[in-house]
Amino acid sequence: MIYNLKMIIIKLYDLVWRHKVRGYQIAEATGLSTATISKLMKGEHIDVKLSTINKLCEFFKCDLAEMIEYHPDER
């Protein structure tokens, strides 16, 4: 599942599913709140700090392209 945050897609749900981890495990390992993890997994429209993306990439041992995608606005 991929969620849209305007033109940027956060692919956290896919990484969680692929790595078979739970939100609370990510929160414990990264220091991020479970609320932040939950919102990102649900695709809620929130501002995401680069430090948050960095912590998630470190946790999943992935690069930025595996975490987010950019799609130009097609207006």
Per-residue pLDDT reduced to its tens digit, 20-33:
999 999 999 999 99
CATH number at residue 45: 1.10.260.40
Residue 75 included in any domain: no
Strand duo 68-70 + 8-10: pairing: antiparallel
Domain count, the chain: 1
Residue 51 included in any domain: yes
Q: Output the pTM of the full model.
A: 0.81
Express each pLDDT in 29-49 by its tens digit. 999 999 999 999 887 777 889
Cβ atoms of 16 and 41 within 8 Å: the answer is: yes
Tell me the residue range of the domain where 48 lies: 3-70
